[in-house]
Structure 1
């Protein structure tokens, strides 16, 4: 805005005392000061407001005005409340330095002028930024992205002083216009966004996290003020849509600024669509391999398809020495009418995000491995083929060879891959060339396989907020396999592991292949009424006794079994005297009619506790 506009605003009551020829100066901000030397707080273009408390004698005016002129301020507005008038020495100094000077009436508060200037300047900046956003949108929709979301978020920071970030439903940061958010805060914002979206609240969602106010804008929201549930079934997108998190409370924002931020969110949705489109080839390749595996195709045919997939998933490596299969399903209570055709893509998007968010141990910071994720879907399940080979460039210096033995321990039988491990990779992989020369220049590290629980990690609570009370996410992970022959078994193994996870409580649960070699595999398939009767017969007498006497018999039983019946170790763990422990175990045996020295009775108690 111009100084002239301030003078023409009657509500401000400004009176020009000098500098009539400088009224076209632009005002970029406002500052109130009574310091003799405010230069450290000036950056140029400000309207300086002062109550004249710095002036103790006429000689003080000249150095004060000289400092303002050197800082490049737009003008000076002096209040009449302190002296009842504006001193002539100040008028003379301003005329000498050609600095516009205004008198502020005693009945006009500096806060009124400040609010007016800030509102006008912000509006102008928002208009300029809106033009930039529109230009950027045209660039992104007509060709390659013109710098991505970071450009617009940077403009929000520089022009409107708004810090903003683009986050995924798991809290992973896609882009930011300031310092990166702490992982815990990003996850908390994602959870707040998911919960608000599920509840059907109108956007933007205003939340407070760790004492800081944020406004959350859904990426690709159908329109400000619209309820997402009224436009689409929110369950189909809530777990995959990005969000724009702005560090500000949008509650008092004018409509123009809200519209601007909605435009930014829509612009970023273009980038989201572009990235989704880049996954089309990987999804198609994964779908072809999964279809072949499910249809019982010959291993040679599957291996041929993997030779096509490997260069896409592992650029520069030629073949993946080992693969893991991950299966995920998203289900909604009372959603039997929802077809597998609708549920599959939801699970596919969720699994892609989980795998992108959980990069391998040792990965260099900032490495984007999203182009290594291949997820298909079939019969309502998402099925991922995860390669367990990563180039030395991805892992950073010194990582090569660190995890070979661990991968072997996970069931692959892989040997360590050092700097010359490329030949081993080509020899082991399902698309090997036989010589290994093409891959020998790239050091390959066989990272430890994916762990089911670690895969979910911190995203468990975040995704739970999006699932709501009626949704469940279950996930199963296979052991690693190093040939096409093993993929069919790996797929079935991952599906069995997912069923084990589905038998557990909680909205988000996972199970790995190692759990399929124990009693855990059997428990999910025991009918519910049998499970309830079995556990009630053994444990209800102990629960009733604990409730009446606070005897802690159930915790004692769990600890005793966990210590393999060792009196000394169990007493030490519970911080009890051995005689006290013997008394409690005797009471357990008396109440249940069982003998904890017998293997059969120990096993019955163990299973009852696991099923309870």
Structure 2
């Protein structure tokens, strides 16, 4: 209730002595006290009632009012049963912008309390009813296929809550009011991947230091690497019971929307299950029929589509996790994602109105940023992603899928917690390495470097690193020795051991290339 509603009750005979301009302030609760400094017992939003037993001298008024003001009290009701309200109390209330209301001697504090309780109870029942009606309506709309972002914005605005939904990659899903800046979303998503428990209240690393509370949107299929987060403005510790209920309402709406999206993605993946094999076998008519639900053929030809392939290493213990992570990574482009034999594959349209080459660059840039956000939650995993140039027809899609596979293999070779490689970047020996089957790579690497690695392990030597430095300095004895801070004779001895153990002559360009490629396969 508002202060004005309380003063409108004629039988109470209440009147403002100061602060009438704040009559619209909302009363959350009431508190009766005669303590001189009651702040530690207040939570904010209280209408304070006092008989002024705490006042033994004029200075006490300043002490009392500053205490309740610091705790967030909305108004002070002073009883006159023991005498008139002193001017020092009026001045203290005026100085601290606390409305002061006279409670005449014929009005008991019990009557005031009863009226506040009646109004708050009535408001509580009305709020519960409105919240439930709003919740049922929004849930029904989302279940019927309404746009989640629009439904969420409406529900949050009605509840008076500033809130956002972001994904585990920092992608902005929905918001009430202005969206979170991209850097804030990325920061929150990355932090959330390291939090063991929720909800979490944090201060955004922005200039204004906004405080937000983060809650997970957990579905049956939830995994921290592929989920949503609800971000609400403010500290949950200061929320009212109504605000907590409204936030819970928003969480349940988001859970429903997320569940529908996950179900649709799984259905699409099952529908497209045979696409990689059809493309590899060049059965383009069947592939086109399978993809008919992904958009009209003429749009395919004009805008083009990019193939994205991803793999997580080692293979996740959670079933289908790679597909779910890739689905989240390409979500903005409505990419259809399917699980292949060795990786997950997505076919995503080039952004509307963007030239194909530049569209591919935009997709790559976004993938790099989003994959980097996920790094904090990868823990024992790595994710390698490759994407192709734009294809403008189903026959071209086969070449795009092969190009994306080679790019993904190169991403695996280059290492890092996350790595994204575009097909256009494959223009060196790495293209050849990426196209070689893993078992061949492993055999080649072991045959050339195995003896060196075993020798280093048994003798605590540095033959492998010496070989790397020697090749990096193009076989220059002086420059390599200087870079390694060793004598040239020491370097010659080590390289001699390398040649002896590998059977390769490092004065031969051909043999240098053999060892160089083996080292690259080890990176």
Q: Shared fold (TM-score greater than 0.5)?
A: yes
Alpha-carbon distance, 1:478 to partner: 4.2
Deviation at 1:186, TM superposition (A): 1.8
Aligned residue number for residue 428 of structure 1:
none
- 2:108 matched residue in structure 1: none
- CA apart distance, 1:328: 2.6
Match of 1:216 in 2: 214
CA-to-aligned-CA distance 1:339-389 (integer Å, 9 cap, x gap): xxx52xx43332232123xxxxxxxxxxxx534x2223345743222344x
8 Å CA contact 1:286–1:384 kept in 2: the answer is: no
- Whether the 8 Å contact between 1:542 and 1:591 is mirrored in structure 2 is no
Question: Is the Cα contact below 8 Å between 1:452 and 1:510 reproduced in 2?
Answer: no
Aligned length, in residue pairs = 448
- Paired residues for 1:162-561 under 5 Å: 163-196=162-195, 201=197, 203-206=198-201, 210=205, 214-220=212-218, 237-250=223-236, 257-273=243-259, 289-290=275-276, 292-293=278-279, 296-297=282-283, 299-302=284-287, 309-311=294-296, 317=299, 319-320=301-302, 322-330=304-312, 335=317, 342-343=319-320, 346-356=321-331, 369-371=332-334, 373-379=335-341, 381-388=343-350, 390-392=351-353, 395=354, 445-447=356-358, 449=360, 454=365, 456-469=367-380, 471-478=381-388, 480-495=390-405, 497-498=407-408, 501=411, 508-510=418-420, 513=423, 514=426, 517-522=431-436, 524-526=438-440, 531=445, 534-535=448-449, 537-538=451-452, 558=468, 561=471
For residue 140 of structure 1, the aligned residue among 133, 139, 142 is: 142
1:295-322 deviations in whole A, cap 9, x for unaligned? Answer: 652x45545666774428x7xx462465
**1:7-46 correspondence to structure 2 within 5 Å:** 18=15, 27-28=25-26
Determine helix, strand or coil for the equivalent of 2:301.
coil
Gaps of 5+ in 2: 29-44, 53-57, 59-73, 105-112
Alpha-carbon distance in structure 2 between the residues aligned to 1:557 and 1:84: 95
In the TM superposition, residue 284 of structure 1 has moved relative to its aligned partner by: 7.7
TM norm structure 2: 0.62
Q: Residues 173 and 445 from structure 1, CA distance in 2 versus in 1: closer, same or farther, beyond 3 angstroms?
A: same
Provide the secondary structure at the position in 2 that maps to 1:518: helix
**Residues 153, 562 of structure 1: alpha-carbon distance in 2 compared, 3 angstrom cutoff:** farther
Distance 2:364 2:506 in 1: 32
Residue 109 of structure 1 aligns with which residue? none
Choose 521-530 or 239-248, whichever is displaced more.
Answer: 521-530
Provide closer, same or farther for how the CA distance between residues 248 and 587 of structure 1 changes in structure 2, counting only shifts above 3 A: farther
Alignment of 1:52-67 (within 5 A): none
Question: Secondary structure at 2:214's aligned position in 1?
Answer: strand
Quote the offset at 1:246 in angstroms: 2.4
Correspondent of 2:495 among 586, 589, 592: 589
What's the secondary structure of 2:226's corresponding residue? coil
| 1:175 aligned counterpart, secondary structure | strand
Distance in 2 (CA, whole Å) between partners of 1:579 and 1:516 is 31
Q: Secondary structure of the equivalent of 2:153?
A: helix
Sort the Cα spacing of 1:145 and 1:18 in 2 relative to 1 into closer, same or farther, 3 A.
same
Q: Any idea what SS the aligned residue of 2:348 has?
A: strand
Aligned counterpart, 2:40 = none
User: 2:309–2:385: 8 Å Cα contact kept in structure 1?
Assistant: yes
Q: 1:562 & 1:173 partners in 2: Cα distance? A: 44
Unpaired runs of 5+ residues, structure 1, are: 8-14, 31-44, 57-73, 105-112, 222-231, 357-368, 396-443
Change (3 A) 1:380 1:529: closer
In structure 1, distance between residues paired with 2:327 and 2:442: 33
